[in-house]
């Protein structure tokens, strides 16, 4: 199998490159090809003729998207359409990384793949529109929705907490947003499995279990053996430019259909901390 990874220098992309064994992999970052450049992208895809394109390239600064709406849509929606068109031209399959932010967070039970999209942020809108457009161009594509991604080699929540905790006696973290932390290593391995299983449609791909950001931070500090106190606060007490879903736990039912079981997020956090040391 020949695989083209777009966004290979990002947090997930680096992990995908490291984890993908036994197939022919071409890994390209934004400096190699900008997915907004339809002509260059088409040329790259035509030349490499992959069986699968893993689209991990995105503008993921959720708060930045609020003030950079045009950039968010040009990368996350229009760039996705460019990839889909290039893939269709050579008969390649596409797996697209999407987000829990396509939902409004008003449910109190895990989101299923068929639940209605109702994004509340610019980032969420750009991803939701990308999903719709992608399915129009490539009905047999695979959309892998994930959430709260963390890993070694880039900015992520555990890295931020560890950095702040090293210099502070106490941290305040929101306790009224709930989701599923997802480790890039486990996410990468599941994406590889989905490609090999010729997956199609929407699949929710997260580590098992859920927590609040406060509970996540507590576990990070505890596992790292840091004495910093973590205090719960509300979203209202820590306003951000982009609204976040209060509840964005993704159901694993769609993933289990492919026989894929992901480890719990606490197990994943332990392995992340070990990897980070090395």
59, 101, 111, 123: which one is catalytic?
A: 123
CATH of the domain at 90: 3.40.50.720
Among residues 101, 95, 93, the alpha carbon closest in space to that of 127 is found at 101
User: 15 lies in a domain?
Assistant: yes
For 99-149, how does the pLDDT look when each residue is reduced to its tens digit (9 = 90+)? 999 999 999 999 999 999 999 999 999 999 999 999 999 999 999 999 999
Range of the domain at 116: 2-147+183-208+248-263
Contact 245, 178 (CB under 8 A): no
pTM of the model: 0.97
For the chain, first and last CA: distance in Å? 31
Share of the chain above pLDDT 90, in %: 98
User: 41 lies in a domain?
Assistant: yes
Tell me if residue 125 falls in helix, strand or coil: helix
Contact 150, 12 (CB under 8 A): no
Edge-first strand listing for the sheet containing 2-6: 24-28, 2-6, 52-55, 93-99, 142-146, 201-204
pLDDT beyond 90 at 208: yes
User: 156 lies in a domain?
Assistant: no
User: Could you tell me how far CA 122 lies from the centroid of its own chain?
Assistant: 16
Tell me if residue 149 falls in helix, strand or coil: strand
Tell me if residue 244 falls in helix, strand or coil: coil
As for how many domains the chain has, the answer is 1
Contact 228, 171 (CB under 8 A): yes
d(CA 248, CA 67): 23
User: 218 lies in a domain?
Assistant: no
Contact 50, 2 (CB under 8 A): yes
User: 230 lies in a domain?
Assistant: no
Q: Is-catalytic flag, 123?
A: yes
């Amino acid at each position: 199998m020949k695989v083209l990874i777009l966004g290979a220098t990002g947090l997930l992309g680096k992990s995908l490159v490291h984890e993908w064994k036994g197939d022919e992999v071409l890994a390209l970052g934004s400096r190699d090809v900008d997915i907004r450049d339809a002509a260059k992208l088409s040329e790259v895809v035509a030349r490499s003729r992959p069986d699968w394109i893993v689209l991990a390239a995105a503008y993921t600064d959720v708060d930045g998207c609020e003030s950079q709406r045009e950039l968010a849509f040009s990368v996350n929606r229009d760039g996705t359409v460019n990839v889909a068109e290039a893939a269709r031209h050579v008969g390649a399959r596409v797996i697209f990384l999407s987000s829990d932010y396509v939902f409004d967070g008003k449910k109190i039970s895990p989101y299923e793949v068929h639940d209605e999209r109702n994004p509340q942020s610019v980032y969420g809108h750009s991803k939701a529109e990308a999903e719709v457009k992608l399915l129009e161009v490539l009905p047999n594509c695979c959309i892998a929705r994930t959430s709260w991604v963390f890993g070694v080699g880039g900015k992520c929540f555990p890295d931020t907490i560890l950095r702040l905790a090293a210099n502070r006696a106490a941290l305040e973290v929101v306790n009224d947003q709930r989701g599923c932390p997802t480790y890039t290593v486990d996410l990468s391995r599941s994406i590889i499995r989905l490609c090999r299983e010729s997956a199609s449609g929407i699949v929710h791909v997260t580590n098992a279990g859920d927590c609040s950001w406060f509970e996540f931070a507590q576990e990070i500090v505890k596992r790292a053996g840091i004495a910093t106190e973590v205090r719960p606060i509300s979203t209202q007490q820590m306003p951000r430019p982009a609204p976040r879903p209060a509840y964005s736990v993704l159901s694993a039912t769609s993933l289990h259909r492919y026989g894929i079981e992901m480890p719990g997020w606490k197990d994943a956090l332990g392995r992340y901390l070990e990897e980070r040391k090395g």
